[in-house]
Amino acid sequence: MLLMFFFLASLTTVGCGSATIASKEGSFERSIPGTTSVHVEPMRHHLGNFPSVNKTKEVQTLVKNNGTSELQIKRLLSSCGYTKPNVNRTWVPPGEFAVITATIALGAIEGPRTTSLTIETSDSIQPVTTVTFAWEIVAPLRGDLSESDLMITRTYQDIEKEVKLISHNLGICKSCTMYCEGNEVIFLTLPKITGHQESGDHSVESPDKNIEIASLKAVVKGSKPPGFYKELVQVLLMCGDEERARATIPFSWKVETALSVTPERLFVGQTEGMRTIEKSILLSAGVERRFRVFKVESDLIDFRYELPLSTNSESRQVIRVSFAAPSTQGIYRGQLKFFTDHPEALEVMVPVSGIVIGSGR
> pLDDT-based confidence at 269, cuts 50/70/90?
very high
Q: What is the pLDDT of residue 119?
A: 87
Q: What is the mean pLDDT of residues 305-323?
A: 92
Q: What is the pLDDT of residue 193?
A: 56
Does residue 161 or residue 189 have the better pLDDT? 161
Q: What is the pLDDT of residue 7?
A: 32
Please compute, for residue 280, the number of CA atoms within 13 A of its CA located in the half-sphere on the CB side: 5
Q: What is the pLDDT of residue 294?
A: 93
Q: What is the pLDDT of residue 287?
A: 59
Cα–Cα distance, 214 to 4 (Å, whole number): 51
Position 354 pLDDT exceeds 90: yes
Residues 6+ away with beta carbon under 8 Å from 241 = none
Position 322 pLDDT exceeds 50: yes
User: What average pLDDT is seen over the chain?
Assistant: 75
Of 6-10, 58-62, 189-193, least confident by mean pLDDT is 6-10
> pLDDT-based confidence at 321, cuts 50/70/90?
very high
Position 213 pLDDT exceeds 70: no
Select the highest-mean-pLDDT range: 61-65, 157-161, 325-329. 325-329
Q: Using a pLDDT cut of 90, give the percent of the chain over it.
A: 22
Give the pLDDT confidence of 67-90 residue by residue, as tens digits: 889 999 888 887 776 666 788 888
Contact indicator for 187, 213 with CB cutoff of 8 Å: no
3-state secondary structure the chain: CCCEEEEECCCCCCCCCCCCHHHHHCCCCCCCCCCCCEEEECCEEEEEEEECCCCEEEEEEEEEECCCCCEEEEEEEEECCEEEEEECCCEECCCCEEEEEEEEECCCCCEEEEEEEEEEECCCCCCEEEEEEEEEEECCEEECCCCCCEEEEECCCCEEEEEEEEECCCCCCCEEEEEEECCCEEECCCCCEECCCCCCCCCCCCCCCCEEEEEEEEEECCCCCCEEEEEEEEEEEEECCEEEEEEEEEEEEEEECCCEEECCCEEEEEEEECCEEEEEEEEECCCCCCECEEEEEECCEEEEEECCCCCCCECEEEEEEEEECCCCCEEEEEEEEEEECCCCCCEEEEEEEEEEEEECC
Q: What is the mean pLDDT of residues 113-124?
A: 85
Cα–Cα distance, 278 to 276 (Å, whole number): 7
Give the pLDDT confidence of 154-181 residue by residue, as tens digits: 766 788 888 887 776 555 455 667 777 7
Position 152 pLDDT exceeds 60: yes
Q: How far is CA 150 from its chain centroid?
A: 13
Map out the domains of the chain with their CATH numbers: 4-138 (2.60.40.10), 141-256 (2.60.40.10), 260-359 (2.60.40.10)
Position 302 pLDDT exceeds 60: yes
CB neighbourhood size of 329 (10 A): 13
Does residue 200 or residue 188 have the better pLDDT? 188
> pLDDT-based confidence at 136, cuts 50/70/90?
confident
> pLDDT-based confidence at 56, cuts 50/70/90?
confident
Position 268 pLDDT exceeds 90: yes
Please compute, for residue 346, the number of CA atoms within 13 A of its CA located in the half-sphere on the CB side: 2
Q: What is the pLDDT of residue 83?
A: 64
Q: What is the pLDDT of residue 51?
A: 66
- Cβ neighbourhood burial of 286 (10 Å; 0-12, 13-18, 19+): exposed
CB neighbourhood size of 157 (10 A): 15
Spell out the long-range contacts of 145-149 with Cβ–Cβ below 8 A and sequence spacing 24 or more: 145/249, 145/250, 145/251, 146/250, 147/230, 147/250, 147/252, 148/252, 149/252
Give the pLDDT confidence of 330-342 residue by residue, as tens digits: 999 999 999 999 8
Q: What is the pLDDT of residue 49?
A: 72
Beta strand pairing status for 175-181 and 128-138? unpaired
Q: What is the mean pLDDT of residues 242-254?
A: 79
> pLDDT-based confidence at 212, cuts 50/70/90?
low
> pLDDT-based confidence at 19, cuts 50/70/90?
very low
